Amino acid sequence: MKCPPFSYHRATSVDDAVAALAAAGGEGKILAGGQSLVPVLALRLARPDVIVDVDRVPGLDGLELRDGVLHAGALVRHLALAGQALHPLAAEAARWIGHTAIRSRGTLAGSLAHADPAAELPAVLRACDGAVHVAGPSGTRRIGADDLFVGALQSALEDTEMITGVELPVPDAWGFAEFARRHGDFAVVSVAAARFGDRLRVVVGGVAGVPHLVDAGDLATVDGEISEDRVAILAAAAADDVDPADDLHGSARYRRALTEQMTARALEQLTTTVREPA
């Protein structure tokens, strides 16, 4: 299939990209790795007047650990994220994204801005209680993960804004599990689990319009090691907390069962990991 006609602008800076988006009057789209946007264009699900290419904007591909938080540029590729050791949970999740060709082009900010509820990195951002930095005509702002995703393929970004950087706090322990029909397919259910001190955040992807933060009540507070019995209880609580819909990939009952299994796997991995001193 062919993309609809559009004008093309190669941005030289963040300010240049924002100005081009503003000039498009809400009819512009950011192009970075193209792994989300190009298929959408080919399917005619989006018809922007202007494509703003930010792939060559300097200074947006860095990775730096500061005070226990990974600061990542918008253009960090999935392959680079999978290969780094500063944030092991992000590295583990990135390895599940598509295939090598996709990981070599797709970007961290592109995945977050696309806001696919089945994608790996939105779940990681929310599990780590991270945030994105956004530039727009009115300046810059910071959006927390709990506020960024507002619906399936919908984010809190304005049409004239772009993500410039991402904050990912590094958890003390972590786990990630995913089930897909075939390797490289979109996840039917994925689970990212992150522990910060005595606080546990479990996020399930693929069961709602946004990555679902499990409300486990007192179970989300942990003290010391997590036993096998506690893992089973938490996994069952996660399955009870989600409310998936039936679709062509599986019934709601099927996704709840997968939620329990993937949560158990992610928590089992979490019990074997520990954050190394910086």
**Mean pLDDT score, 176-190:** 93
Higher local confidence (pLDDT), 144 or 186: 144
CA 139 – CA 120 distance, rounded (Å)? 29
What confidence score (pLDDT) does residue 1 get?
Answer: 67
Read off the pLDDT of each residue in 189-207 and give the average, rounded to a whole number: 97
Q: What are phi and psi of 277, to 5 degrees?
A: -60, 140
The Cα 183–Cα 160 span in angstroms is: 35
Q: What pLDDT score does 70 carry?
A: 98
pLDDT of 206: 96
User: What confidence category does residue 249 fall into, taking pLDDT thresholds of 50, 70 and 90?
Assistant: confident
CB of 50 closer than 8 Å to CB of 20: yes
Distance of alpha carbon 161 from alpha carbon 145, whole angstroms = 16
Angle, helix 228-241 to helix 252-270, in steps of 10 degrees = 150
Q: Does the domain formed by 63-169 have CATH 3.30.1280.10? A: no
117 Rama sector, left if φ>0, alpha if ψ -120 to 50, beta otherwise: alpha
User: Could you tell me the residue ranges of all domains in the chain?
Assistant: 7-53, 63-169, 173-270
Q: What is the pLDDT of residue 276?
A: 63
Secondary structure E strands in the chain: 7-10, 28-31, 50-53, 63-66, 69-73, 131-136, 139-144, 149-151, 154-155, 162-169, 173-179, 189-196, 199-205, 212-213
pLDDT at 278: 54
More confident site: 255 or 278: 255
What average pLDDT does range 232-251 have in this prediction?
95
What pLDDT band is residue 77 in, cutting at 50, 70 and 90?
A: very high
CATH of domain 7-53: 3.30.43.10
Mean pLDDT of 211-216: 97
What is the distance between the alpha carbons of residues 20 and 38, in angstroms, rounded to a whole number? 19
Question: What percent of the chain is modeled with pLDDT above 90?
Answer: 91
Q: What is the model's pLDDT at position 203?
A: 98
254 pLDDT above the threshold of 70: yes
Residues 6 or more apart from 129 whose CB is under 8 A from it? Answer: 144, 145, 146, 169, 194, 196, 201
Look at residue 277 and tell me whether its pLDDT is greater than 70: no
- How much is the average pLDDT of 69-91? 98
pLDDT digits (tens, 9 = 90+) for 26-50: 999 999 999 999 999 999 889 999 9
Dist CA 87 CA 68 (whole Å):
9
| pLDDT of res. 184 | 86
Domains 7-53 and 173-270 share a fold: no
Write down the pTM of the prediction. 0.96
Level-2 CATH architecture, domain 173-270? 2-Layer Sandwich (3.30)
Return the H-helix or E-strand segment holding 208: none
Q: What is the pLDDT of residue 183?
A: 85
The residue-averaged pLDDT of 119-139 equals 98
Question: Which DSSP category does 77 fall into?
Answer: B
Mean pLDDT for 189-197 is 98
Write the DSSP symbol of residue 11: -
Average pLDDT, the chain: 96
CA distances (Å), origin 97, targets 51, 119, 216: 25, 8, 28
